[in-house]
A and B are shown apart, each in its own frame.
Chain A
């Protein structure tokens, strides 16, 4: 698989002369920082999907909204595509630059504009780091709930664009559930306010639409997030299992008992060993799987729930159950999980992180399928899951220096995603489609559905200048990759229109 932009399959992009574009933008937005020398562009050549790198034509680092407006208008006039970038931690190549495009980097918009403890909201610029919000509002006893593992680095603008989740989203929701108002600027340079400080807004729910739209509909320039009071207490149980399937069943049993844990995470043996090696969290390295179950809320309820969950876990066949004794140990239990990716990264020269979701009941079966595929491809797979919501992150270990292994890892990843779709799930739970899963979109959606997505895009960006080639594949691409749904026994036609 090669995910680089392919004009034949993704649509022609205008080719403009770099010097002319630079001169024109320098003239129309005189005070804007524009990087153009090759050595200055290198730091921006990839996001978290580092196997793919492209040098953008130019990198823009605006500091004011007027600059963003002027830049977008200027690019539109020139017909130059724009890829927006937050912190560049995305794992699906959403912020992968285009050779013929401008990379619009929002990192200088990094101010927390306003915190209103009585209304429990914070108004922030898009470049603010996720964790910085919780840190800033902590003195008021409040926090911002969605906590992606990348929260020390990723930007809130990127979170909105990806509808990011975290280990607490079964109970507290994804980004879309925790954002009240978003300001965007369209490719035409128009400023829109989506949502409001009240609990709803008139008209279509464009706020829901912008969440997870991967920089395809507009540039996010300001976000008002909802804050929650910190739970009085949070306790975490760690249960060991000698069988992955049993751990999978235990997840359903906890929920069947009427308990919604603050976090419910699972790791398999390979992930446990990697994390333990790296963090020394006290994980049981012999276990085939562990479950981390966090219960939070008011003390009395949490104690009750802990006792009930303990019972459920015992009945489900847990071989050992530990409860973190204090806040420090709780943090340590989580540190192992939150650092699972880099931990796995230490075991292997390269790893490739997948992000499929499945109905929870399918967990044992899909795990089995993954382990078979892993054998078949001869590549190790470590599994970490947001088990509570059926969001799996299989990590495929490989060595890019061995010829063909990256392609093998990608093929294996593609197969895993197809397995998820077959099980009634989705190819992406929180990392987004970006460029990485552009072909798998053809397996999840029919040509008609993809056409509807293109129609939505056309309402905001008819010339397809914002992040072209990402998120929604063209019908031509799907026809080429043959993964397209075959309707009524008819094969898809390669001569299909592109959009």
Chain B
């Protein structure tokens, strides 16, 4: 279907977006920034006038030799990825789409990364620069269109994961990388404890690992790199072959584990490497899916938020509820942290027009 529709032409509507923002700031009207509307479930609902970025689209510069691409935030993520793939390149952090309409802006604003994250880095690690419409309605540029730039504070990275609550992202510059020349996925039957021990051991070795997930008695691995190292590691680890699309299904939450038929809330636990299984009452092994070599754990559970958050906090991590309607999807900030968050928000968005309440009620 998508193939037969003519692509929407590139357009720069930053002026119009700026005008909307300027007006909203003058009137004190809250704005609900929407890209492809695929990640609305991630965070608190925003009450406000919808402001769509989808018309603001197009790749403004891409030079594969520079490993740098600049793209307007309304551009469909799929379009960007297809363009990079034409040149044998990719977004190394493997962002989830959660729908065909996902935009680059949503990807950056939510800051969500896929299975390769522990090895390659997260969205924020590949953001080199950003254009942001600030509350005054003018488009400002931070960071740069070069690999390294430490002039001024790193506001472009600060925008990643801020979910539009500090300004309207209109364009981002990203570092991209060549796709690995060889890839192989495999599955090894082993209990969780053994998988953890193995991953800790392999983590200290220069193995070409780029994904590791454990679920119901099996460790799933992806090896990527040069043909030589992938072949050698494959030989060494053995196991059965795994379809490469397993990783996409995991990333897009299409595995059976994520089925909507399971009515229990879906939690994302973010934990340090090598955190043992958390002691949680009534949680069975099947209620958990370990991604990111155990650093990102998906959990189906009715346990109270506080119980989960305490367990995560004592291990040095935090927990996010991804089921829509959660009163506090993100782990509440320590009071002193909340204070500096409020001050930052007050400085950059004193009237609270940018996605108010999306991250936390008071931001």
Report which A residues bind B (CB closer than 8 A): 116-121, 140-142, 162-163, 165, 169-170, 173-174, 176-177, 186, 190-193, 196-206, 208-209, 211-213, 216-217, 229-232, 252, 255-256, 258-260, 297-301, 303-305, 357-361, 386, 388-391, 424-433, 437, 441, 444-446, 448-449, 452-453, 455-460, 471-472
Instruction: Give the most central of B147, B162, B227, B318: most A CB within 10 Å.
Output: B147
Nearest chain B CB to A302's CB is how many angstroms away? 8
Q: Given A206-B340, A304-B227, are A298 and B232 neighbors across the interface (CB < 8 Å)? A: yes
Check: B256 CB closer than 8 A to any chain A CB: no
Contact partner, A301, options B125, B229, B272, B343, Cβ 8 Å? B229
Contact B317 A198 (CB under 8 A): yes
A357 B144 Cβ-Cβ under 8 A: yes
Q: Which residues of B contact A119 (CB under 8 A)?
A: 272-274
Binds A, one of B5-13, B76-84, B331-339: B331-339
For residue B59, CB closer than 8 A to chain A, the reply is no
What's the minimum C-beta distance from A147 to chain B, rounded to whole angstroms? 14
Q: Please name all residues of chain B whose beta carbon is closer than 8 Å to the beta carbon of A452 when the two chains form the complex.
A: 134, 140, 142, 155, 348
Stretch at the interface among B60-68, B99-107, B244-252: B60-68
Q: In the complex, which residues of chain B have a beta carbon less than 8 angstroms from the beta carbon of A140?
A: 204
Inter-chain CA distance A497–B123, complex, in Å, is 37
Q: Answer whether residue B88 sits at the interface, using C-beta atoms and an 8 A cutoff.
A: yes
A360-B66, A425-B146, A452-B140 are known contacts. Are A176 and B154 too (CB-CB below 8 A)?
yes
Q: Specify which of B134, B140, B158, B177 is in contact with A260 (CB 8 Å cutoff).
A: B177
Contact bitstring B124-166, A, C-beta under 8 A = 1, else 0: 1100000000101010111011111111111101101110001
Verify B226–A297 contact, CB threshold 8 A.
yes
Given A203-B337, A452-B134, A471-B152, verify A458-B203 contact (CB < 8 Å).
Answer: no
Q: Mark B193-220, 1 if CB is under 8 A from A, else 0.
A: 0000000100111111000000000000
Report the separation of the CA atoms of residues A140 and B203 in the bound assembly, to the nearest whole angstrom. Answer: 11
Other A-B contacts than A118-B200, A121-B272, 5 sampled, CB-CB below 8 A, are: A202-B332, A205-B160, A298-B207, A427-B151, A456-B153
B158 touching A209, Cβ below 8 Å: yes
Q: 7 A-B Cβ contacts within 8 A?
A: A118-B200, A119-B272, A199-B270, A203-B360, A357-B149, A389-B147, A428-B149
Q: Which residues in window 312-329 of B have CB below 8 A to A?
A: 316-318, 320
Q: Give the interface of B toward A (CB within 8 A).
A: 63-68, 88, 111, 117-118, 121-122, 124-125, 134, 136, 138, 140-142, 144-155, 157-158, 160-162, 166, 177-179, 181, 200, 203-208, 225-229, 231-233, 270-274, 292, 295-296, 316-318, 320, 330-334, 336-337, 339-341, 343-344, 346-348, 359-360
- Interface contact A196-B316, CB-CB below 8 Å: yes
A220 to chain B, nearest CB (A): 15
A-B pairs, 4 with minimum CB distance:
A300-B228, A301-B226, A208-B157, A298-B229
Least CB separation from A117: chain B residue: B204
Q: Which of A170, A197, A445 contacts B152 (CB 8 A)?
A: A445
Residues of B within 8 Å of A459, CB to CB, are 340, 343-344, 346-347
A247 → chain B closest CB, angstroms? 15
B152 touches A433 (CB 8 A): yes
B346 proximity list for chain A (CB < 8 A):
459
Evaluate whether A196 and B318 lie within 8 angstroms (CB atoms) in the complex, with A170-B147, A204-B166, A209-B157 already known: yes
Given A119-B273, A176-B154, A357 contacting B121 (CB threshold 8 A)? no
User: Would B205 and A173 count as touching, CB distance under 8 A?
Assistant: no
Cβ contact of B146, chosen from A255, A259, A426, cutoff 8 A: A426
The contact of B151 among A193, A359, A433, by CB within 8 Å, is A433
Given the complex, which residues of A lie within 8 Å of B146, measured CB to CB? 357-359, 389-390, 424-426, 429
- Considering only CB atoms, which chain B residue lies closest to A305 in the complex? B226
Q: Is the CB of B148 within 8 A of A426?
A: yes
CA distance A441 to B145 in the complex (A): 16
- Closest A residue by C-beta to B293: A199
Which residue of A is nearest B149, CB measured? Answer: A426
| C-alpha gap A451/B236 in the complex (Å) | 57
List the A residue with the shortest CB-CB distance to B292. A199
Using known A-B contacts A448-B136, A456-B347, determine if residue A229 contacts B65 with beta carbons closer than 8 Å. Answer: no
CA distance A305 to B359 in the complex (A): 45
**A259 / chain B contacts, CB cutoff of 8 Å:** 178
**Contact for A209 among B153, B177, B295, CB less than 8 A:** B153
Q: Is there contact, CB below 8 Å, between A198 and B152?
A: no
- Residue on A nearest B333 in the bound complex, by CB: A203
- Cβ-defined contact, B226 with A163, below 8 A: no
Assess the A190–B270 pair: CB atoms within 8 A: no
B206 touches A230 (CB 8 A): yes
A430-B148, A455-B347 given; A449·B140 CB < 8 A: yes
Are B330 and A298 in contact, with the CB atoms below 8 A? no
B296 and A426 contacting across the interface, CB-CB below 8 Å:
no
B206 proximity list for chain A (CB < 8 A): 229-232, 297-298
In the complex, are the beta carbons of B150 and A162 less than 8 A apart?
yes
Contact A192 B340 (CB under 8 A): yes
Find chain B residues with CB under 8 A from A192 CB: 336-337, 340
**Contact assessment for B157 and A441 in the assembled complex, using a CB-CB cutoff below 8 Å:** no
Query: Taking the nearest CB of chain B, how far is it from the CB of A403, in angstroms?
Result: 32
**How far is it, in angstroms, between the C-alpha of A142 and the C-alpha of B178 when the chains are bound?**
26
Does A391 contact B317, Cβ atoms closer than 8 Å?
no
Report A-chain residues with C-beta under 8 Å of the C-beta of B340.
186, 192, 206, 459-460
Shortest distance in angstroms between B122's beta carbon and chain A's nearest beta carbon? Answer: 7
Which of chain A's residues have a CB closer than 8 A to the CB of B334? 193
Contact of B347 among A391, A429, A458 (CB under 8 A): A458
**Chain B residue with Cβ nearest A389:** B147
Task: Assess the B134–A204 pair: CB atoms within 8 A.
Answer: no
Residues of chain A within 8 A (CB-CB) of B111 are 200, 205
